Amino acid sequence: MTANGYKRPYPGGGMVKGLVITITTMFKTIFRPNKYLATINYPKVKETLVPRARGVIALDQEACTVCMLCARSCPDWCIYIEGHKEEIPPDKPGGRIKVRSKLDRFDIDYALCMYCGICVEVCPFDALFWSPEYEYSESKMGDMLHDMDRLQDWLQTVPDPPALEK
Amino acid sequence: MTIDSDAVRHLSEASVSVELQTEDMTLNIGPQHPSTHGVLRLVARVDGERCFDVHPVIGYMHRGYEKLSEVRTYPQITTIVNRIDWVSGYANEIPFITAAEKLMGLEVPERAQYIRLILTEMARIASHLIFNASYPLELGAATPLFFALRERERVLDLLESVTGGRFHPNFNRIGGVKPAYASGSTTRKLLQDLPAGFFAETRVAMDKVLEAVDELDALVADNEIIVARTKGVGVLPPEVAVAYGVSGPNLRASGVAFDLRKTEDYLPYDRFDFDVITGENGDCWDRWHVRLLEIKESVKIIRQAIDTIPSGDLQAKVPKVIKVPKGETYVRAENPKGEMGYYLVSDGGQGPYRLKIRSASFSNISILPWILEGILVPDIIAVMGSLDFVLGDVDR
Amino acid sequence: MPSWVTDLFSNFWVSLTGKLLLVALLIPLVGMVIGFAEMKLSAKMQYRVGPYFAGGRWGWAQLIADGVKFFQKEDIIPTDADRPVFKTAPMLVLVGTVALFVVIPFGPNLIFRDLDVAVFYALAISSLSTIGILMAGWSSANKYSLIGGLRAAGQLIAYELPLVLAVVGAVILAGTMSLQGIVQAQIEAGYPYIVLQVIGFGVFMVAALAELSRIPFDMPIAESELVMGYLTEYSGFRFLFFFLAEFANMFTLSAIAATLFLGGYWLPGVPDDVLEFAGPIILIAKTFLLVFAMIWFRWTFPRFREDQLQRIAWVWLVPLAIFNIIATALLKVIL
């Protein structure tokens, strides 16, 4: 199929067609903005993203077992984890002493993070979630390092997963 | 009076040598320029408005993909590879994953292949819409850009609703597409299939994309000024195009009907009915128009795929830690910019031993010295724009 | 009007100062209003809103904010630039525009100075900006500016001729070169001259677009190729001069076109005493129609290449204008 199938109705016809399109667009946008306007007036009106959008990563501290899988699989090495082992006394005397890992430090540096999602994917204990929040710009680079508590706060914004097709 | 012939000759030579001595000027269409699609530098020798010699200088955007791939695992490389040609993000991941699957001998489930195909065609629509809209901007018309970007937003929103990212989807895994929200999870399995309403929204978006294509066609393709600026400018004969390794819509606009979607089998294109668009003259107008019509063909493919998508698994059965067996292979795919290929050499580890990327734009701009010889300065911009290259693709 | 005001302004020097102040005030005002109209209208043609933040819902303070921004910027002059020429160039371009303002009739008695050779004066003064542009292109020590300046010189000189020749038709019909006289002739004839001078009007509008360096005749500036052409090295309030001069020049050339071809401050059926204070409004309305047409053309079309531009001027416009003159002269003699 060849691409050169254009023909002009009359000399100057192409330019007149272009002019007609521009002016009809102008009238459409002035008189029916609700239907035709392509932009929203941010920051007065904010856009909500789809539930799966990769905005920010949220952490559930209770579920984390300091297995370090996320820090190891991050392509940018932007997750910093420190933890220590705690001993929990046994339920009944003479039982086994349980050893549990406790999280000391879990920082994600969003100045380095490339929002790929590998950390969320490999976590075996459902401790990391995606949230479609996007308004966390800072004026200082140091503030882009989100610590444990800030990541826990993001957990409230995690939406329910969307329903699936059919 | 006798005429002294020596004196006369001396006089005539004297009048000839009064001519002005003009020099060529070396114009640096520098790395920072509104029209070079990134940081491409053209060192042009111009005489007035005519340019004699163009020497492109690339490498300002080299990010070292091939070196980065040597120290990363396959899932990590998938996340960085879609940044090579950032306008069509999803299409860059496909040949890489297909190369790894070929070495492993995996069979990708049908539904995963269909989803990959749909998302690749959406990436093609996004890339071609950006080109068709920003090329008139380089020629001076500012309005088509907004018409096309409006509809491109719908396509990107669809991509985001499935994968979570607009330009960098990271949706491929070895053996299929990303099956679950947290596939390593031991406590719950949240399937990450297509979200509800995807098919309905896709149909609406495809209708709007076709409307935008018609608007662009009416606004730009028939415009006498565009025709005067682009017809007959930058003609690329088919033999020269084939000799330089040009691929994609640039090659097809010169008349060579070569489309890797018909000849390669990395995705099930043989089940769908679409045409290979060719142009007649190989000038800038043809290159623009071919891409416009290819958007229509992609819409056709997506509509057929949505109607016939089978249900099934999203990923083949693969072990948790993937080691690709030893071997080497080359897979090439039809990227929106041209032919993109990955030559994968694996030594049995978790990451490749060597990954060589054959990017489309690198070969496409190798014809710049040939095609820009003896051309006017404004036409440099017109021709460069019509080749549709992205510097990330050139420099990797 | 109280008598002391009329006595005050009958003094030549006081009225001269008053007129100068008025022109100096009107030019930035007109420039800002038209600039704002261009921003809003071009946005509506592209499914956008345009400025909406500065000054409330409509964003009317956007250009005032832009003006203040340009004023407080650092004055950067390149090291190799030719300093006196670099500094004088914007002034010349603005002078070309301001001087045009002086001869436009806003009403039967509202004109800054009614010259007998107003048309001749207007066309001559508007070529001062050509020199200013060439100075700007040459004195910035920048190859891109040089290319832009040379392209501008070629284009502006080429389009001077159709501009002048297109006007001659209206002058022949009216029999006088004074702009006030041309409007009076249209009032007496009872119809605006566009009825007989369609070709002249078309040639004048195309040549005016080229004189303003607006798309589709945008090669000197050529944003996507030359990064603002001859304006590349200008920043701060020197750029503001060029910016304002472009918009004010749009207004003045459209006002001259409205006066010559569309009837100026007169509408058929409006009595003379109403024209005293409704005249400016009518003229401004007609001018804005033409300015809207210029904005409409700018945002729809791409730009011509330099050789195509020159071809249009010399092969199409000049013969059309000459044919128009001959036809008008024959008409005037025969009828």
pLDDT digits (tens, 9 = 90+) for C131-153: 888 888 888 877 777 777 888 88
* Contact yes or no for B376 and C225 at CB 8 A: no
Q: At B140, list the tokens.
A: 């001076």
| A30/C46 touch (CB, cutoff 8 Å), yes or no | no
A120 interfacial to chain B (CB closer than 8 Å): yes
Sign of CA dihedral B3, B7, B12, B18: negative
Report pLDDT for A166.
61
Residue A9 pLDDT grade (very low, low, confident, very high; cuts 50, 70, 90) = low
- Average pLDDT along chain B: 84
**Neighbouring residues of C285: CB distance < 8 A, sequence distance ≥ 6:** none
Q: Which two tokens stand for residue B321?
A: 């830690």
Residue corresponding to tokens 């882009």: A144
A54 and B164: CB-CB below 8 Å?
yes
Residue B19 counted as domain residue = no
Tell me the chain C residues in contact with residue B143 when contact means C-beta distances shorter than 8 Å.
Answer: 45-46, 299-300
Check whether C214 has a pLDDT greater than 70. yes
CB-based contact C228:C142 (threshold 8 Å): no
> What number of other Cβ atoms are within 10 A of residue C286's Cβ?
23
ipTM of the complex model = 0.82
The reported pLDDT for the residue numbered A99 is 82
Contact B140 C46 (CB under 8 A): no
Q: Smallest Cβ distance to B80: which of A4, A75, A165?
A: A75
Residue A7: per-residue pLDDT:
55
pLDDT computed for residue A33 by the predictor: 79
**B176-227 pLDDT, tens digit each:** 777 666 556 655 666 677 887 888 889 999 999 998 888 888 888 888 888 8
Domain ranges of chain A: 11-43, 56-157
Name which residue leads in pLDDT, C80 or C220.
C80
The tokens describing B326, both together, are 């030893």
**Does C219 contact chain B (CB < 8 Å)?**
yes
Per the model's pLDDT, the better-predicted residue between B16 and C208 turns out to be C208
Q: Which of A5-14, B208-217, C300-309 has the lowest mean pLDDT?
A: A5-14
For A10, A101, B250, the CA distances from B253, given in Å and listed in that order, are: 27, 63, 5
Residues listed for chain B? 396
Q: Are C321 and C166 in contact (CB under 8 A)?
A: yes
Name the residue type at position C249: N
Chain C neighbors of B144, CB-CB under 8 A: none
Cα(C135)–Cα(A79) distance, integer angstroms = 58
- The per-residue pLDDT for range C50-98, each reduced to its tens digit, is 888 877 777 788 888 888 888 888 888 888 888 888 888 888 888 888 8
Report the Cα A166 to chain-centroid distance in Å: 25
Q: Closest Cα of chain C to A29: distance in Å?
A: 6
Asked whether the beta carbons of residue A125 and residue B196 sit closer than 8 angstroms, the reply is no
To the nearest whole angstrom, how far is the Cα of A10 from the nearest Cα of chain C? Answer: 18
Q: How confident is the model at residue B343 (pLDDT cuts 50, 70, 90)?
A: very high
Looking at residue B194, what is its pLDDT?
80
Q: Given this model, what pLDDT does residue B22 score?
A: 60
Cβ–Cβ < 8 Å for A115, A155: no
A12 contact residues in B (CB cutoff 8 A): 224
Span B75-123, pLDDT tens digits: 888 888 888 888 888 888 889 988 888 888 888 888 888 889 999 999 9
Q: How confident is the model at residue B330 (pLDDT cuts 50, 70, 90)?
A: very high
Taking CB atoms and an 8 Å cutoff, what residues of chain C touch A21?
300
Per-residue model confidence (pLDDT) at position B20:
52
- In chain B, how many domains are there? 1
Q: Which of A4, A22, A124 sits opposite B186 (nearest CB)?
A: A124
C210 touching B (Cβ < 8 Å): no
- Residue A91: pLDDT over 80: no
Look over chain A and give the mean of its residue pLDDT values, rounded to a whole number.
81
Cβ of A24 under 8 Å from any chain C Cβ?
no
* Residue A59 φ/ψ, nearest 5 degrees: -120, 135
B253 within some domain: yes
**Can you list the positions of beta strands (E) in chain A?**
56-59, 79-88, 98-109, 128-131, 145-146
Mean pLDDT of C209-221: 81
pTM of the model: 0.86
Q: What is the pLDDT of residue B15?
A: 40
Q: Are B337 and B234 in contact (CB under 8 A)?
A: no
Residue A122's pLDDT band (cuts 50, 70, 90): confident
- Report the pLDDT value the prediction gives residue B105, as an integer from 0 to 100: 86
A35-64 average pLDDT score: 83
Q: Of B25, B33, B150, which is closest to C143 when you measure between CB atoms?
A: B25
B376 CB neighbours in chain C (<8 A) are: 305-307
> What pLDDT score does C178 carry?
86
The answer regarding whether domain A56-157 maps to CATH 3.90.1150.10 reads no
Contact B387, B337 (CB under 8 A): no
- CB-CB under 8 Å, A41 with C296: no
Q: Do A123 and B185 touch (CB under 8 A)?
A: yes
* Nearest-angstrom CA–CA distance, C190 and C94: 36
Considering Cα of B38, then B42, then B47, then B53, what sign does the dihedral take?
A: negative
**H, E, C per residue of chain C:** CCHHHHHHHHCHHHHHHHHHHHHHHHHHHHHHHHHHHHHHHHHHCCCCCCCCCCCCCCCCCHHHHHHHHHHCCCCCCCCCCCHHHHHHHHHHHHHHHHHHHCCCCCCCCCCCCCCCCHHHHHHHHHCHHHHHHHHHHHHCCCHHHHHHHHHHHHHHHHHHHHHHHHHHHHHHHHCCCCHHHHHHHHHHHCCCHHHCCHHHHHHHHHHHHHHCCCCCCCCCCCHHHHCCHHHCCCCCHHHHHHHHHHHHHHHHHHHHHHHHHHCCCCCCCCCHHHHHHHHHHHHHHHHHHHHHHHHHHHHHCCCCCHHHHHHHHHHHHHHHHHHHHHHHHHHHHHC
How is residue B99 written in tokens? Answer: 């190369």
Q: Which of B181, B195, B253 is nearest residue A165 as measured by Cβ atoms?
A: B195
pLDDT of residue C12: 81
Partners of C44 on chain A (C-beta within 8 Å) are 25-26, 29-30
The predicted model gives B243-262 an average pLDDT of 89
Task: Evaluate whether residue B9 is within a structural domain.
Answer: no
Q: pLDDT for A136-148, tens place per residue?
A: 888 998 888 888 8
Interface test with B, best of C46, C151, C298, C299 (most B CBs within 10 A): C46
Identity of the amino acid at A14: G
pLDDT value for B183: 59
pLDDT at B14: 42
pLDDT band at C117; cut points 50, 70, 90: confident
A35 to chain B, any CB pair closer than 8 A? The answer is no
Residue B10: inside a domain, yes or no? no
Cβ atoms < 10 Å from Cβ of B176:
27
* Burial of C1 per CB tally in 10 Å (0-12, 13-18, 19+): exposed
Closest CA to C143 of C240, C251, C232: C232
* B338 within 8 A of B247, measured Cβ to Cβ: yes
Measured at the CA of B21, the angle between CA B15 and CA B27, to 5 degrees, comes to 160
Among A8-12, B167-171, B214-218, C321-325, which is the least confidently predicted range? A8-12
Query: Which pair of tokens denotes residue A145?
Result: 């390092």
Dist. CA B224–CA B226, nearest whole Å: 5
Neighbours of chain B (3+ CB pairs under 8 A): A, C
Q: Which residues of C touch A26 (CB under 8 A)?
A: 41, 44-45
With respect to residue B210, please indicate whether it lies within any of the assigned structural domains: yes
- Confidence at C227, pLDDT banded by 50, 70, 90: low
- Contact flag A115-B165 (C-beta cutoff 8 Å): yes
> What is the model's pLDDT at position B11?
47
Domain housing B109: 25-395
Residue with structure tokens 């705690």? A86
DSSP B91: G
Q: Retrieve residue A121's tokens.
A: 């994917």
Cβ contacts (< 8 Å) between A130 and chain B: which residues?
164, 181
Per-residue pLDDT tens over the stretch B270-316: 888 888 888 888 888 889 999 999 999 999 999 999 888 888 877 87
- Kindly report which listed range (A28-37, B31-40, C34-43) carries the lowest average pLDDT score: B31-40
Look up the CATH number of the domain holding residue B162.
Answer: 1.10.645.10
Q: Which residues of C touch B150 (CB under 8 A)?
A: 47
Tell me the β-bridge partners of B176.
Answer: B173, B315
Q: What share of chain B in percent tops pLDDT 90?
A: 12
> Is 50 exceeded by the pLDDT of residue A4?
no
Instruction: Check if the beta carbon of residue B242 is closer than 8 Å to that of residue B364.
Output: no
- Distant-in-sequence, close-in-space partners of C131: CB < 8 Å, separation ≥ 6: C92
**Chain B residues touching residue C223 (CB < 8 angstroms):** 34, 140
Range 146-165 of A in CB contact (< 8 A) with B: 161-165
Cα dist from C214 to A101, C86, C323, whole Å: 70, 23, 26
